[in-house]
Copies of this chain bind each other. A is one copy, B any other.
């Protein structure tokens, strides 16, 4: 691959210029800014390297860019997104979020790490491969969506409506990927799901003087009792039938888990806490973080919440509860279990509404495409990869990979430990960008050998 390396180096200036051009296009889905225009730009750029690319509109959502190239028995799916988080607060940026300024060895721009840099590096890797090796050795199906930063609300529908187009891939190279502080490449093989509920109770027809409390039922109390039935003081989720569905980590997953660096003292210091939940230490902390489902009160509002006392009996109470899901849980199942659990205990007055949902997904660690992604990372980064069997957070991996039962591998990105994703001064190092190009180039060759 010497010629690959030479081509990449010779074209570094142009590559960075193109990345700057991409980053200078605001594509802020939350604010509906620049979405269609950026989708078209992405499609055009894919066509330039030979992709049959199209902008596929999705009713009520942002369009998805879809491109195909190559022939052969194998098919690699790739997932990226062209939308970015809002840049606010603007005054905390050292240079404009859409200036894409190069400074001190880095490019600074909203989206440069999440996820425009990693997408562009893949484009540049394929271009390089084509120029120094020739035609791609297998088929690529590339999905570039535009709603990742608002939770991919329409990706599932897009997949449903385009199953024939998308089917037949062996694995999916996911977005994401960074190196940690020790230079180790970070790879993730799964994502938790989400079942985000609103639980609410209505009482009297208006707030009442609290002297009426002996005779008028209080919706805030009803909600507290309902909540207390969902999770106990020892942090055990007690929703009937929920924990029974949770799959324990496999031996392979435990092996990966034990190798994940996790600086307990540093994390405790960062969060300002003295112990972890359940008093966990060592590998148990990481096991909980990655493999345990959660039931989190994200918000609770009722009655008077200003300063001082106000003697009021609230007539309405609402709480937002976020269940993070691991296999074999899913949002519809959890919604149903919660409803049945509450009904069984007489909490028929608690209204349950589903506000957001994602299915969990985990890729098999021993899948050959997964192992190849890990091996190439080890070679290119020159360090032992940190492989997460699942991220602690959620993502739409199930919508794409689950639909076709293929492994999803997140890695090979250009991020660093201080890339400031979703924050001011988002950045990547030029060095990391060039390494991301090399990673994808080498990966294509390695996957071809399978």
**Residues in A lying within 8 Å of B, measured CB to CB:** 151, 192, 194, 196, 203-206, 208-218, 220-221, 224-225, 227-228, 231-233, 235, 267, 271-273, 275-277, 280, 285, 288-289, 292, 294-305, 308-314, 317-318, 320, 322, 324, 346, 355-356, 391-394
Contacts and interface: CB of A to CB of B under 8 A. Distances in A.
30 contacts: A203-B273, A204-B271, A210-B294, A211-B289, A213-B277, A214-B288, A214-B289, A214-B392, A215-B277, A215-B289, A216-B277, A220-B299, A221-B297, A224-B297, A224-B300, A296-B311, A297-B317, A298-B303, A298-B309, A299-B304, A299-B310, A299-B312, A300-B303, A301-B301, A304-B320, A305-B318, A308-B355, A308-B356, A309-B356, A311-B394
Contact of A213 (B233, B267, B320, B324): B324
Most buried by B among A194, A213, A224, A322: A213
Contact of A298 (B285, B314, B322): B314
Contacts of A267: 215
Nearest to A313: B296
Contacts of A213: 277, 294-296, 322, 324
Nearest to A285: B215
Contact of A218 (B209, B271, B297, B317): B297
B214 A277 contact: yes
Contact of A211 (B217, B311, B313, B324): B324
A224 B228 contact: yes
A318 B302 CA distance: 11
B298 A210 contact: yes
A221 B231 contact: yes
A318 B301 CA distance: 10
Given A271-B205, A298-B310, A288 B215 contact: yes
Contact of A299 (B205, B280, B305, B391): B305
A135 to B, nearest CB: 41
A291 to B, nearest CB: 8
A410 to B, nearest CB: 15
Contacts of A356: 308-309
Given A218-B297, A220-B297, A322 B311 contact: yes
A324 B322 CA distance: 34
Nearest to A207: B298
Given A271-B205, A320-B304, A311 B292 contact: no
Contact of A322 (B210, B273, B301, B346): B210
Nearest to A232: B225
B309 A210 contact: no
A303 B320 contact: yes
A355 B310 CA distance: 10
A356 B209 CA distance: 16
A410 B347 CA distance: 42
Contact of A305 (B288, B300, B394): B300
B214 A292 contact: yes
Given A228-B224, A298-B310, A280 B205 contact: no
Ranked nearest first, the 9 interchain pairs of A and B with the lowest CB-CB distance are: A205-B272, A299-B303, A228-B228, A301-B305, A220-B297, A213-B294, A211-B392, A211-B393, A214-B288
Contacts of A203: 273
Contacts of A210: 294, 296, 298, 322, 324
A289 B313 CA distance: 14
Given A322-B210, A393-B211, A216 B300 contact: no
